[in-house]
Every structure is written in structure tokens, then in C-alpha cells.
Structure 1
């Protein structure tokens, strides 16, 4: 039984709120917390560093790019980010497949074969990024700052999928969150590759982005089905004249 709300104990709630003003004390603030955090922020050295190219050709390639005014280290950082996220994506779908095998998908149009195809796409994207990093002379096993960042961000999603208490619908909610982030990440990566005039990468990454758009459309549909929603049933009314007039 959920006992988290104060309405579960109205008598105690009333007693707690019925306190004389003189006993309430001064309103609190977060200054003490700010005082603790500030020195740590000022002294921190940043979330890792961009790894140097592991090969002579890679170092030369990076040097040439920097002489041209480009920032190849940013591209390598974002390549590492996407590779880390795709690896996590494959693990998320592994967990979802296991959950659906045990719990079943109910009335969803989602099939285990669909999830296996998406999982294979995520693994294929991981290898695509690995090859892209190596083509630039980078080391795909080195963790870049952005790879570290998305690993921390995605850890909560991994916990949701691996929690035996979460339902299929709740798991799909986490997957939708991951796919939204994945789509945005590929768009950024394509823009960076285009700036560096890496046409082959742009083409390959665009195909991967199209895959992710399809993944997002599918999981959004499955999530809506899990909630009992029928696609297209919700109609958004146009704003009234008074609402439209607001700045």
C-alpha cells in the first residue's frame, strides 16, 4: 500500500502544520550547500581529456586538421560519445528482450524479432563508429570526456531496464528517452563530420540516423500502445483568441 502521501495521515498532517510561528525558526536556504560545492567546482580539472592519437599517421592527420583551423579533437570526443551510447543501447535492448520473454508483450504490436533487429542495428552502429575513430588515427578503446558523460547519463536508464519490478511500459519509457537522445547525438555528429568534409562519414552516419529515427517511431508507438493510447485519437484544439494574444 502506497503510504507516501500526507493525506494518508490527515490527523498527523494537521498536527505537523499546526505549529506556532515562534517555533518555526528561520526559513532555510541552500547557502551551506553552495559553500561546500563551490571549492570543488573551482578546483576540478574537468571530466577527463581527449586521448592523443595512438599512431603516427593519426598524429599527423590531427596536426594537419588543426593547422587548417579545424577541431579534430572535438570530433573524436563525439565519436567516442556515440560509440559508448550505442554500446549501452545494445545492452538496453538485451534487457528489454529478456523482460518481454518473461512477462510477454500483452496486446502490443511489438515482437521479439523487432527488438532483435533494433538491437543488431545498435551493435552495427557501434562497429561503424569504431571504424570511424580508427580511420582518424584514434583509439576506440580510449574513453573520451563525452563518452564518460553519456555513460553516467545512461546509467539510470540501465537501472530502469534491469530492475525486475519495472513493467514493459515503464521499460519502454526508458527506451524512448534513450532513442530521443540517440537521434540528437547522431545529428550533432553528422554536423561535425560535415564541417571536416568527411563525406563518407556523413553518408554512413546519415544512414545510421535514419535507423534511429525508425527506432524512435517504433518504440514511441509501442509505448503508446502499452499505455492504452490509440495513435491519432488525440486532437489538439487551436488556441483561443485570448490565449493567442498572450506574449
Structure 2
């Protein structure tokens, strides 16, 4: 794995005090190219926010069972689309989580691991958990008579939010150890999101669903504990200047 070193980084202005002074003087002497301000930019954003519609919708139930359930929720004063929307969000995130671990496994195969870090088997085990959680959510959506292939508004949102995490994992210049930071972001989100989904399913009286989701929540808590430990070990090794690369353990 790559060591963080001092090199020819020229992104800061302190590397060229003469040129940086000229840049600052020029910026202060020359007026902006437009008469607008940050307040005008904020006003445009607000206008777009008011004029824009929603990010998609939840499709109607695809079965008679789903229609009956939706009608029952309306009678009890609960919006039937909300639970489907949040289940779709979790489904999307678990799908992305599976791909995230696949990307980390590929980097592990290329670079190897480090003392106190994950083995290939560790990464595969968590990837398989994420895939099982995806299947669990798919079944939960189907039991409600909904379509698990539909992209709900919250699924669309979380897909966009998690795109940067996956981008870190597949960026070849970011090494395996550095990419673990992306896992931490994902697992922190995963843990809180499962907890909130359990609360929502409880409010909707989905006791069987809640019981299954609590098992998934326990898995995610363990994932977070492992990722935190791996990152702590990596940071300790880096602080000592110790070599961190071990021989990759490729799949049989």
C-alpha cells in the first residue's frame, strides 16, 4: 500500500509567496465579472427549490394484497407509501454496499492487506451479509405487495448520496487502506438507517419484519466495529512508519 509522503504538492499558495501575493492583490483590485452576490445565488437556489417537483414517486401496489394493505394503512391514518419508500431506500443502499465490498476485495487482491486489517475472507463475509440484507428487503417489499425493482424517491436520493463512497472504492489512485474510510462512512449510515427503519416498521405494526430487521441491525453493528478496528490499526501502523502491505490472499 502507498505511504503518505511529503512530495511536490503545489496546491497551496504558500509554496509560492510572490505569486500568491500577486493573485491576492489582483483579486482585491479587480471587481467581480458580474454584479451578483452570494445572496443572489441563494435566491436562485431557493427559486429552483420552490419550482421543482419531487424526486419520483412510489408506484401503486402491484397485487390485490398490496392494495388491501395500502387501504388499511390509510384507514389507520398512516401514509402507505412511506414504508415502501424507506424500504426501497434500504434496498438501494444494501445493493450499493455489496458493490462497495466487491470493489474493496479487488483492491485487496491487487495490494494485499496489513497487520490488524481485514483478510479477504473478512471482506467476503461482510459482502455476503450485505447481499443477504438486500434479499431480505426485497422479500419484505414483496410481502407488502409492492415492486422491489421500482426506484422510490428515497432510493433515488440515497443512491446519489452514496455515489461518492463508491467512487472512492473504485478510484485506483486511492489504495486499499485509504479506501477503508469509505467503508466507515457507509457502515455509520447503515447502522443509523437500520435503526430508523426498525422504528418505522414498528409504527406500522410489521412485527415479523421488525424481528428480521433486528438481526440485520446486529450484523451491521458488528461490521462497524470491525471497520473501526481496521482503520485504527492502519493509522497506528502509519504513525510508526511501519510497512503495511502483506501478500494478497486471492480466492481459490
Alignment TM class, shorter chain as reference: 0.7 to 0.9
**In the alignment, is residue 33 of structure 1 matched against residue 41 of structure 2?**
yes
Aligned to 1:89: 97
Aligned to 2:18: 11
**In the alignment, is residue 182 of structure 1 matched against residue 190 of structure 2?**
yes
Alignment RMSD (CA, Å): 1.9
Contiguous gaps of at least 5 residues in structure 1: 231-247
Aligned to 1:191: 199
Aligned to 1:100: 108
**In the alignment, is residue 152 of structure 1 matched against residue 160 of structure 2?**
yes
The one-character-per-residue Cα deviations of 1:50-69 (angstroms, maximum 9, x if unpaired) are 11111121011110111011
Asked if the contact 1:169–1:227 (Cα under 8 Å) also holds between the matched residues in 2, the reply is no
Change beyond 3 A, Cα 1:8–1:209: same
1:20 deviates by: 10
Change beyond 3 A, Cα 1:19–1:198: closer
Distance 1:55 1:17 in 2: 65
Which runs of structure 2 are paired with 1:203-214 in the superposition (5 Å)?
203-214=211-222
TM-score (norm 2): 0.86
The one-character-per-residue Cα deviations of 1:186-210 (angstroms, maximum 9, x if unpaired) are 0011001111111111110000000
SS at match of 1:227: helix
1:66 to 71, 74, 83: 74
Query: How many residues get paired?
Result: 229
SS at match of 1:228: helix
After the TM superposition, which of the residue ranges 36-45 and 193-202 deviates more from structure 2? 36-45
The one-character-per-residue Cα deviations of 1:150-193 (angstroms, maximum 9, x if unpaired) are 00001101110000010222210011000000111100110011
Distance 2:84 2:27 in 1: 61
SS at match of 2:148: coil
Which structure is higher in RCO with an 8 Å CA cutoff and minimum separation 6?
Answer: 2
